[in-house]
Structure 1
Amino acid sequence: MQRIIQYFHPLVWIILSGTVFVRTASFMAIPFLALYLHNELQASPLLIGVTLGVAPLFSTFGGFIGGYLTDRFGRKIVITATVFIWSLTFIGFALASSAIYFVVLNAVNGLCRSFFEPGTQALMIDFTEDAKKRRLFSVRYTAINIAAVIGPLLGVWVASLSSPSTPFMITGFMYALYGMFLLFILNRYEMKQRKLGANQRVLTIVNAVLHDRKLLLFIAGGILITLGYSQFDSTLPQFINMNVEDGVRLFSYVIVANSITVLTFQLPLTMLSEKISIYASLKIGVVIFAVGLFLFGVSLSPWMFIASMVVFSVGEIFSFPMMNAVIEEIAPEDQKGTYLGAAQFKNIGGFIGPILGGWLLTSYIDYMFGVISFIILCSIFIYNRAQRLT
């Protein structure tokens, strides 16, 4: 146990624990946002769609700005300020009396995430040896999945005991509590960050990043993988419901299978993947990921869907943490946050995926998962191209 604790710097463990704490808080509320808008505020489907869509949209384009600010002005100030703004955003969700306010609030929610994620990742990288960074990304991914299991269950339980807005209010207070904790704890450690110089303006950095062909290829590969993953909560539940009796219940079992697989196999598969290169681990994950998606398309029974999800989840374990690891590896020392922020552009795949999947579902359902699997496999050619660049 002591060896595990000593593997990472104490501040890294603190941030990882905080990731579980704030992600649990977020998962208490955000998954139920659409239901809250529909049931409590009688929002139209169009307004609900716009509300849900602005968060990933703002997160995609805000990540670059947030990453730059952490590199330019310091991780501490950006992270703590973001957490307190985030706290007020969730309290705003609880107090908002009209659905239209949720569009603005969820846009701020997306911006906060895009500032917080690159900042905390870069902070942990600052305190982690190069040989341990791959495992850091995997452990962080495990922390997020732990929160994804606990948070929604707590949200349902809290909402059943009080009003539907209570989970938003509790989430806001949890973020405020975490912000105060960070103010105290980050002042106890001397930051190891190499900041950008005052002469390195945002437009200069943008120009440099946009001319980094390797980064752009990694982002392109990430877009294709994210496009495939977006089918998990967009077309897959519809596909299951169309092909299996009591599909809603089966999809809940499929979600549980995903969570159990990730939590059970994340650490052992991470240790196994450390024996091969980052690129090899990423490409192995892409292949397994694509196979899992293809198997969904030929599944005929509940057990086949669950088995397909296990395969899908193993691919997720190999590929998703490595997408950030390869970005970190090529980033200059004083631009870690900027590069990790730019990597948020891969979320464009999360916008394109449901649209493409929905069209295939209605027009070419028999070929849907085969087409998506092929698109994911194309990312291997992109990563091979990036790997050959010096």
Structure 2
Amino acid sequence: MTIPFLALYLQRELGASPLIIGITLGAAQLFATIGGIFGGFLTDKLGRKLIILFTIFIWSAVFVGFATVHSVMLFVFLSALNGLCRSFFEPSTQALMIDFTEQEKRRRLFSVRYTAINIAAVIGPICGVWLLSLSSPTLPFLITGGMYALYGVVLVIALNNVEMRQQINKERQTLLQMFKVVGSDTKLLLLLAGGMLINLGYSQYDSTLPQFINLTVENGVKLYSILLVTNAVVVLLLQLPISIYSERISTLKSLVIGICFFAAGFVLFNLATSWIVFIGAMVVFTIGEIFAFPMMNAMIEEIAPETKKATYLGASQLKNAGGFIGPILGGWLLIHFQGEVYFVIAIFMLLSIVFYKNALTKRNNLDNA
């Protein structure tokens, strides 16, 4: 309801340039990258419940802050805090779900979780546009902050009545030792490199794409809102059949298919000059998203030791470095090479296949050994 419109909010309300918008949005990705591994480590050490509850209420305050500040520098700070909250909340909640899910059902878990997120993504942009048309542009931020606070209260009640099933790591491992373990896992590093390139490309979705559309067609804000809804609706319609198909093929094949659709979607965005082509490009882009995104986390979970699930899922947040670089690179390309911006992004996306293939080769070699 709010984050997809943040670039437009900064552009229209604060008069920020594409580069400043890229830095503001990229700050969230940078701190999600830095904070992820700490959040995962603390989740394994202190428990899921403490990290989840502590983070959600701070996150609520961040959105209230978005509604009340009028300085770009403060927006950068809040955007960074937003990324930090996400980097703690994501691995802790994913680890909690893994604790309650049988091994053979975990691949399906990530697909179901992704579908649940996109149910909200259908409703959110519609509500955002409707609220923006009726009232102040800050109201969606205030409502989001209130919803996060309410969610926190629900979690306090729900987790209080749930017996934790976390597998505790009994080794008194320090943060430095954890960095050494994670840093020496070549498979993980290759998966992270591939994920960084995918995130670099995907970050254009809510950073340069709304600006590109605004510069290319009339009524760009309305078209972008329609594209957000198109994205979510396609996910809801195709997630189940694609999920069923993906379970019959390897995670790598699913990822490669997704990455190729991603790249094709970006090429179509660059060629589009009309609403219908933009919508078609979004359908292609979204099919790539459905194939690729659930498998990215599934592959991380598969290589993670049982006592370090949250740590590895937290380390997977390092792929958000691509999301930090992406908006800045995209903003620069939009200024200097507007006609070729998404051709360049498509090439970066396709390069990620090399890292994923090498990671799978490493895993297969170790399994055979």
Q: Is the 8 A contact 1:56 1:347 kept in 2?
A: yes
Residues 1:293 and 2:266 are matched in the alignment: yes
Secondary structure at 1:374 match in 2: helix
1:1-390 paired onto structure 2 within 5 Å: 27=1, 29-33=2-6, 42=14, 45=17, 50-96=23-69, 100-158=73-131, 163-197=136-170, 199-240=172-213, 244=217, 247-299=220-272, 301-364=274-337, 367-389=340-362, 390=366
Mapped to 1, the partners of 2:191 and 2:182 lie a distance apart of 12
Post-superposition Cα deviations, 1:356-379, rounded to whole Å, max 9, x if no partner, equal 334444555555433332322221
Q: What TM-score does the superposition give when structure 2 sets the normalisation length?
A: 0.87
Distance 1:230 1:162, change over 3 A: closer
* Distance of aligned partners of 1:364 and 1:30 in 2 relative to their CA distance in 1, 3 Å threshold: closer
What corresponds to 1:4 in structure 2? none
> 2: distance between equivalents of 1:114 and 1:140?
17
Q: Is the 8 A contact 2:26 2:327 kept in 1?
A: no
SS at match of 2:249: coil
Q: In angstroms, what is the RMSD of aligned CA positions?
A: 2.8
Most deviating of 292-301 and 51-60: 292-301
Tell me the distance in 2 between the aligned counterparts of 1:227 and 1:340: 19
Higher alpha-carbon deviation: 368-377 or 319-328? 368-377
Q: TM-score, structure 1 length as denominator?
A: 0.82
Structure 2 unaligned segments of length 5 or more: list them: none
Question: In the TM superposition, what whole-angstrom CA distance separates every residue of 1:173-228 from its partner, at most 9, and x where no partner exists?
Answer: 32222222212211222211112336111111011101111000001001111122
Q: Is the 8 A contact 1:72 1:198 kept in 2?
A: no
CA distance in 2, matches of 1:360, 1:53: 15
User: Deviation of residue 72 (structure 1)?
Assistant: 0.8
**2:7/2:206 contact within 8 Å kept:** no
Secondary structure of the corresponding residue to residue 357 of structure 2: helix
> Percent of counterpart pairs with the same letter?
59
CA positional deviation for 1:102 = 3.8
Which segment drifts farther, 277-286 or 68-77?
277-286
Higher relative contact order, structure no. (Cα contacts within 8 Å, ≥ 6 residues apart) = 2
Shift of 1:387: 0.7
Distance, in Å, in 2 between the alignment partners of 1:44 and 1:310 is 30
For residues 370 and 43 of structure 1, do their structure 2 counterparts lie closer, same or farther at Cα, with a shift above 3 Å needed?
A: closer
Q: CA deviation at 1:170?
A: 3.1
Taking a change above 3 Å as real, the CA distance of residues 300 and 64 of structure 1, as seen in their structure-2 partners, is same
Q: Kindly provide the amino acid, as one letter, of the partner of residue 50 in structure 2.
A: I
Local SS of the residue matching 1:378:
helix
Q: 1:350 to 1:196 in 2, by over 3 A?
A: same
- Contact map agreement 1:60 1:348 (CA 8 A) in 2: yes
Q: Give the count of matched residue pairs.
A: 362
Cα contact 2:30–2:323 (8 A) shared by 1:
no
Q: Is contact 1:73–1:195 with CA below 8 Å preserved after alignment?
A: no
Q: Check whether the contact 2:22–2:207 (CA below 8 A) recurs between aligned residues.
A: no
What are the superposed Cα offsets for residues 268-305 of structure 1, whole Å, 9 maximum, x if unpaired?
Answer: 11111111121221122112222222233344543333
Contact persistence 1:68–1:341 (CA under 8 A): yes
Matched to 1:71, the amino acid is D
329-338 or 174-183, which moves further after superposition?
174-183
For residues 225 and 336 of structure 2, the distance between their equivalents in structure 1, rounded to whole angstroms, comes to 26
Provide closer, same or farther for how the CA distance between residues 240 and 357 of structure 1 changes in structure 2, counting only shifts above 3 A: same
Partner in structure 2 of residue 16 of structure 1? none
Of the structure 1 ranges 182-191 and 267-276, higher mean CA displacement relative to structure 2 is found in 182-191
Is the contact made by 2:26 and 2:328 (CA closer than 8 Å) also made in structure 1? no
Matches of 1:33 and 1:235, distance apart in 2: 11
**Are 1:328 and 1:340, in contact at CA under 8 Å, matched by a contact in 2?**
yes
State how far apart, in whole Å, the 2-side matches of 1:36 and 1:371 are. Answer: 26
Contact 1:87/1:172 (<8 A) preserved: yes
Residues 54-104 of structure 1: CA deviation (Å, up to 9, x unaligned)? 222211111111111111111011111111222233344445576654443
Instruction: Report how far residue 240 of structure 1 moved.
Output: 4.5
Structure 1 residues 271 and 96, CA, compared in 2 at 3 Å: closer, same or farther? same
Question: In the TM superposition, what is the alpha-carbon distance from 1:329 to its structure 2 partner?
Answer: 0.6
State the shift of 1:243 in Å.
Answer: 5.0
Q: Residue 42 of structure 2 contacts residue 51 of structure 2 at CA under 8 Å; is this kept in 1?
A: yes
The 8 Å contact of residues 43 and 99 in structure 1, kept in 2 or not, is answered as no
Mapped contact 1:75–1:119 kept (Cα < 8 A): yes
Contact 1:72 1:197 in 2 (8 A): no
Aligned residue type for 2:265:
G
